[in-house]
Amino acid sequence: MKYIPTIGIECHVQLCTKTKLFSEVDNDARGKEPNSCVSPVDYALPGMLPRLNGEAIRLAILAGRAMNCEINNNSRFDRKHYFYPDSPKGYQITQYYAPIIGSGYVELPSGTRIKIEHAHLEGDAGKLTHFDSYSLVDLNRVDTPLIEIVSMPDIHSAKDAHDYCKELWRLMRYAGVTYGDLYNGNMRFDVNTSVAPEDSKKLGTRTEVKNLNSFRSVERAVEYEIARQTKLLEAGEKVIQETRGWSDATGKTTGQRSKEEAKDYRYMPEPDLPPIHLTEEFVEAESSKLPMMPADYRTKFGGIIANDTMEVLLDYPELMFKLNEIDEKNVKSISNLFASVLLAEEKSAEYLNDLPSAKQLNDLAQMNEKKELSSTAAKEVFLRLFDPQMRGKDTRSIAKELGLIQENDLDALGAIVDTVLAKPETKKAQDDFRAGEEKVIGFLVGQVMKESHGKANPSAVQEILRKKLA
């Protein structure tokens, strides 16, 4: 019997606000000591009341628009009751009955659309670090503002699950709503997987693999769950609805606890926060601040940048924003330098924070087009544009300082060629070329390059040599 997998994904996106969702505490705990970014509100001390961070509302609007979602003018917060050791309140402030972000969709590079059911705002829990005989609690992450994005069960392969998570990561970073640092948990994926017979009208029993933080882990976990559940069903056994953990080391999921339903959380309206009312004018004003999205760049540069190169560069919003600033005729050559030279550099992550100006890049592309720079020289000048000592200098001045500008004056090149042809050591090569041995032209070009100290344009040199040896 053939089994069809169905996958739905919940993605938690940490918003990059300066302060937390319900208190005026530093929201960026990266590199900070445990329990150093906390307040009485985060500790849930008696009498401490939450105060809503308005910036989180603005970022939620941008996130929703990035996913082609409706923004609900009226939303509210609710309490989701459960006890976690890293959640002092004993409940989570979230949105259940009236979330801020409504339905929409994410379009994958393949053209497949994955529908978004909704996305809601909520405060994160803390973090537990487990040791052999004890665990430690870090509350720095408590009430970090999150949007939880809930997809419809529209995904039917591990590959599409991977691509959906990656495209979602891109959308959130382009929209500027998150740092997008997967290693530090800025985005985490909970993956619900079920399998059912091909002719079944009902979905199978699902399992949820929690807190995945890489696209590859999402793909591997889905592959494993599809295989595991299919094997159970083929053996006549039942799949248990449960939460499971994933191990990159073993490549397996393991059961953790039974999976709760919504009724188990005893949702109730949050009494300490008023409802959110957004005017249509405010929503539209914030929505207009959304920059170009990956799909927009695919459309704009689709006939200019090769698909493979495009999908590499789309992982770096800074590079796409810069390509959008330069002249369209130069996009192809500069995009190739970004992909093949910049991203191969050990310091590429640092370089992304301070890219060359559009004028410097346009000038470099034009010098390359006019063959004033060899391909090797163009790469060298390109990398020097990132040198702090070269800040403020124009591209041509940098190329001159490095002695990399090619000689294109045909009269001057002709004189250098004559000098080389007059040398006794090139006579045999000249005779061999006239006798039909094409490969010796490379030797003669090399001699001219040597005579010109590497400044001659090789293409022009070869053309002159062929005419003089005809």
Instruction: Provide the token pair at 221.
Output: 């976990």
In angstroms, how far is CA 140 from the centroid of its own chain?
Answer: 25
Q: What is the pLDDT of residue 257?
A: 79
Is the per-residue pLDDT at 334 higher than 60? yes
What are the angstrom distances between the C-alpha of 28 and each of 77, 144, 187, 289?
23, 9, 14, 23
Q: What is the 3-state secondary structure (H, E, C) of 207-242?
A: EEEEEECCHHHHHHHHHHHHHHHHHHHHCCCCCCCE
Q: Which amino acid is at 418?
A: D
Residue 332: how many CB atoms within 10 A of its CB?
A: 17
Instruction: Provide the token pair at 141.
Output: 């992450």
Is the per-residue pLDDT at 457 higher than 80? no
CA distance 218 to 232: 21
Residues 166-189: tens digit of each pLDDT: 999 999 999 999 999 998 889 999
Query: What is the phi/psi pair of residue 187, to 5°?
Result: -135, 135
Q: What is the mean pLDDT of the chain?
A: 92
Q: What is the pLDDT of residue 262?
A: 67
Given a contact cutoff of 8 angstroms between Cβ atoms, the answer to whether 106 and 113 are in contact is yes
Residues 238-295: tens digit of each pLDDT: 999 999 999 999 999 999 877 667 678 899 999 999 999 999 999 999 999 999 999 9
- Region 338-344 average pLDDT: 95
Q: What is the 3-state secondary structure (H, E, C) of 252-319?
A: EEEEEEECCCHHHHCCEECCCCCCEECCHHHHHHHHCCCCCCHHHHHHHHCCCCCHHHHHHHCCCHHH
Is the per-residue pLDDT at 412 higher than 70? no
Residue 46: how many CB atoms within 10 A of its CB?
A: 5
Q: What angle do CA 423, 426, 432 make, to 5 degrees?
A: 150
Q: What is the pLDDT of residue 408?
A: 62
The helix or strand, by DSSP H or E, that contains position 362, with its residue range, turns out to be: helix 358-369
Is the per-residue pLDDT at 203 higher than 70? yes
Q: Which of 323, 366, 370, 315 is nearest to 109 (CA)?
A: 315
CA distance 184 to 186: 6
Q: What is the pLDDT of residue 411?
A: 67
Instruction: Provide the token pair at 289.
Output: 């601040």
CA distance 134 to 128: 10
Is the per-residue pLDDT at 402 higher than 90? no
Residue 129: how many CB atoms within 10 A of its CB?
A: 11
Domain coordinates of the chain in residue numbers? Answer: 3-281, 292-401, 410-468
CA atoms in the 13 A half-sphere facing the CB of 377: 26
Sign of CA dihedral 56, 184, 310, 383: positive
User: Is 410-468 assigned to CATH 1.10.10.410?
Assistant: yes
Residues 120-171: tens digit of each pLDDT: 999 999 999 989 999 999 999 999 999 999 999 999 999 999 999 999 999 9
Residues 27-80: tens digit of each pLDDT: 998 889 999 999 999 989 999 999 999 999 999 999 999 999 999 999 999 999
Residue 24: how many CB atoms within 10 A of its CB?
A: 12
Is the per-residue pLDDT at 98 higher than 70? yes
CA distance 128 to 112: 37
pTM of the entire predicted model? 0.87
C-alpha R_g of the chain: 30
Q: What is the pLDDT of residue 31?
A: 86
